[in-house]
Chains A and B, each alone.
Chain A
Amino acid sequence: QSALTQPASVSGSPGQSITISCTGTSSDVGGYNYVSWYQQRPGKAPKLIIYDVSKRPSGVSNRFSGSKSGNTASLTISGLQAEDEADYYCSSYTARSTWVFGGGTKLTVL
């Protein structure tokens, strides 16, 4: 199972919006609405920020939003803040009853 494709890095200035893409296939991202996004700060465990494509867990800022079109899912962070600087990973359930993660995207807040 190949990893989902994410850009290695993205950057933005405080207050701006950024979008991170996550591209898979019809056997994973395109076939199921089980795409999740995680935020991981250095030395810490990942934290769930979006599940089922666009749902936010309790306590997660509404500046984080998710969407999907075909085989590509997207995470948008609006009103960028310094504390958003972290690595972001997507994941998807697959047709083989397994899960696959993206390679990760490093977000830099300029």
Chain B
Amino acid sequence: EVQLVESGGGLVQPGGSLRLSCAASGFTLYRYSMNWVRQAPGKGLEWVSHIVASTTTTYYADSVKGRFTISRDNAKNSLYLQTNSLRAEDTAVYYCARAFNFDYWGQGTLVTVSS
């Protein structure tokens, strides 16, 4: 059974950093492209970042480019999102989602940026 479990969210001050994790089970993460998608409270979905299968090629939304970094650890079958220089508008539930079609999603981890 495919499962994705996010962790690492929390309360952080503006300008701070957090590393979000997404632990995958039931499939080999390296063989799939992976995404991070976020949803601000009461708002819609926003695509954040993508890492191409079996490569280190990455893509980012303009809103996070230069501040966020997506990566994966093949040995741990895990996906990460390093978030730096956080702003109030980054407050959201962050989901990891598998593949080009976003066919499986985790339950999300809440990031709150506030002083």
Contact residues of A with B, CB < 8 Å? Answer: 1, 3, 34, 36, 38, 40, 45-48, 51-52, 57, 89, 91, 93, 97-104
In the complex the two chains form, is B105's CB within 8 Å of A47's CB?
A: yes
From A47, A51, A57, A101, B46 is in contact (CB under 8 Å) with A101
> What A residues does B46 contact at CB under 8 A?
101
Q: How many residues of B contact A (CB 8 A)?
A: 22
Contact A100 B47 (CB under 8 A): yes
Q: Judge whether A99 and B106 touch: CB under 8 Å.
A: no
B106→A45 contact, CB < 8 A: yes
Q: Which residues of B contact A34 (CB under 8 A)?
A: 100-101
What residue of chain B has the Cβ atom nearest to residue A99's Cβ?
B47
- B1 an interface residue at 8 Å Cβ cutoff? no
User: Given the complex, which residues of B lie within 8 Å of A101, measured CB to CB?
Assistant: 37, 44-47
Most buried by A among B44, B50, B108: B44
When A98-B59, A99-B50 are in contact, do A48 and B101 touch as well, CB less than 8 Å? yes
Query: Which residues of chain B have C-beta atoms less than 8 A from A47's C-beta?
Result: 105
Most chain A CB within 10 A, of B95, B101, B103, B106, is at B101
Let me know if A48 and B103 touch, CB within 8 A.
yes
Q: B105 near A91 (CB under 8 angstroms)?
A: no
Q: Which residues of A contact B45 (CB under 8 A)?
A: 38, 40, 46, 89, 91, 101, 104
| Pairs A-B, 4 closest by C-beta atoms | A51-B101, A99-B47, A45-B105, A104-B44
Residue of B nearest to A57 (CB): B103
Within 8 A of A (CB), among B5-52: 35, 37, 44-47, 50
Report the separation of the CA atoms of residues A28 and B104 in the bound assembly, to the nearest whole angstrom: 22
Judging by beta carbons under 8 Å apart, are A36 and B44 in contact? no
On chain B, the residues within 8 Å of A104 by CB distance are 44-45
Within the complex, which residue of A1, A45, A93 is in contact with B62, where a contact is CB–CB below 8 Å?
Answer: A1
Residue numbers in A under 8 Å from B35 (CB-CB) = 99
Contact A98–B50 (Cβ < 8 Å):
yes
* Shortest CB distance B67–A (Å): 16
